Structure 1
Amino acid sequence: MALPKEGDYIAIQSYKHNGNLHRTWQSTMVVKTEQNILIGANDRTLITEGDGRKWVSREPALVYFHKKYWFNIIVMFRPEGIAYYCNLATPFIIDREALKYIDYDLDVKVFPDGEKRLLDVEEYALNKKRWNYGEKIDSILRDSSLELLEWIDKKKGPFAPAFPKIWYERYQQMRPIKNNYRRGKQ
């Protein structure tokens, strides 16, 4: 299927290696598409966990997906500054239902002060055994984590200082204006 157009809204679905649905983001606006890249934005979107639990994201966020890299990046606009949550995951695919990827447990969080933290190492080890990830996936994820860390260190892609401002402003320009029209007034 072709990539959605800029301004379209899509759902995002994250799966686990065993095929189970992990998490769904209900509504993300596409702000940029290229041959291999999709950048989206959302603000307080409904998120549904695989077990059915629902919650709403706390802050505006940009999402960066690539068809060739085994990671995706969430840029979060927090009161204390920009933070990043990076999922080690398959490149995305898209169909009529949603943008989809397989989440491989490992995450890198980058705090507003630049501190980096690798998360969920124990979950990765457990699921690697449980679902038999195999050496090929393990090797791809190891290489992908190194590439992701290089992107962070070199301020490449979503980590470039101008990226959050440019794409969040684009999202603000594209969002429908809330209708403040009152009945009877023109």
Structure 2
Amino acid sequence: MVAPDARSEMVIRAYKHNGKLHRVWKNTTILKRTEKTVIGANDKTLVTESDGRTWVTREPAICYFHTERWFNVIGMLRDNGIYYYCNISSPFILEGNVLKYIDYDLDLKIYPDMTFDLLDEDEYEEHKRLMDYPPKLDKILYEQIEELKSWVLQRKGPFAPGFVDQWYERFLTYLW
């Protein structure tokens, strides 16, 4: 199956370590796809939780996924600046128009001033015990959190000045 190119729509599916579906984002527009990265955008997209509940995203978002990083980055454009929500996750795979990854609970929330908080450590510890995460995985995930923090402090990748704004402008041209 041929993977989708820019301007195509994709579905994002997050799973848990045990293979159970966690969350689905219905429509995300691919802005750029390379061998290792996918940059997408969505606005007011339908999200379905594993228990069937649904909600709609409140603001435009630029999504950054990498095949070699154990995190993905969502830059949300709000009136008072760009907020980032980073999922500590497996690297993604793309099957047709479906982007898939495993969500490992830990999240890094980054504020417009580039300060950040690590979230959901209790949930991670519970799932680590329940799903028997191997010690090697635990080590990888915490190393990737440090890598992610380094990217934030260096303003690297999706945290570079203008990155989110540039891709959001491209997204707007696709809506015409």
Q: Please name the residue that 2:95 is paired with.
A: 95
Q: Does 1:6 align with 2:15?
A: no
Conserved? CA contact 2:3–2:96, under 8 Å: no
Q: CA deviation at 1:96?
A: 2.9
Q: Please name the residue that 1:149 is paired with.
A: 149
- Distance in 2 (CA, whole Å) between partners of 1:48 and 1:103 is 15
Aligned sequence identity (%): 49
Q: Please name the residue that 2:172 is paired with.
A: 172
Conserved? CA contact 2:15–2:101, under 8 Å: yes
Q: Does 1:110 align with 2:110?
A: yes
Conserved? CA contact 1:155–1:161, under 8 Å: yes
Q: CA deviation at 1:113?
A: 2.4
- Distance in 2 (CA, whole Å) between partners of 1:149 and 1:111 is 13
Larger Rg: 1
Runs of 4+ in 1 over 2 A off after TM superposition: none
Equivalenced residues, count: 176
Structure 2-normalised TM-score? Answer: 0.97
The amino acid that maps onto 1:170 is R
Q: Please name the residue that 1:27 is paired with.
A: 27
Conserved? CA contact 2:93–2:101, under 8 Å: yes
More deviation, 144-153/2-11:
2-11
Q: CA deviation at 1:2?
A: 4.4
Q: Please name the residue that 2:81 is paired with.
A: 81
The amino acid that maps onto 2:112 is P
Q: Please name the residue that 2:122 is paired with.
A: 122
Structure 1's unaligned 5+ residue stretches are: 178-186
Q: CA deviation at 1:165?
A: 1.3
Q: CA deviation at 1:79?
A: 1.2
Q: Please name the residue that 1:18 is paired with.
A: 18
Q: CA deviation at 1:51?
A: 0.4
How far does the alpha carbon of each residue in 1:138-177 deviate from its partner, in whole angstroms, 9 at most, with x for none? 01101101100000000000000110111001111112x3
Q: Alpha carbons of 1:151 and 1:2: their partners in 2 closer, same or farther (altered >3 Å)?
A: farther
How far does the alpha carbon of each residue in 1:89-121 deviate from its partner, in whole angstroms, 9 at most, with x for none? 000001136100000000000011222000000
- Distance in 1 (CA, whole Å) between partners of 2:66 and 2:58 is 25
Structure 2's unaligned 5+ residue stretches are: none
- Distance in 2 (CA, whole Å) between partners of 1:17 and 1:101 is 10
- Distance in 1 (CA, whole Å) between partners of 2:145 and 2:5 is 30
Conserved? CA contact 2:18–2:131, under 8 Å: yes
Structure 1-normalised TM-score? Answer: 0.92
The amino acid that maps onto 2:28 is T
More deviation, 90-99/53-62:
90-99
Q: Please name the residue that 2:136 is paired with.
A: 136
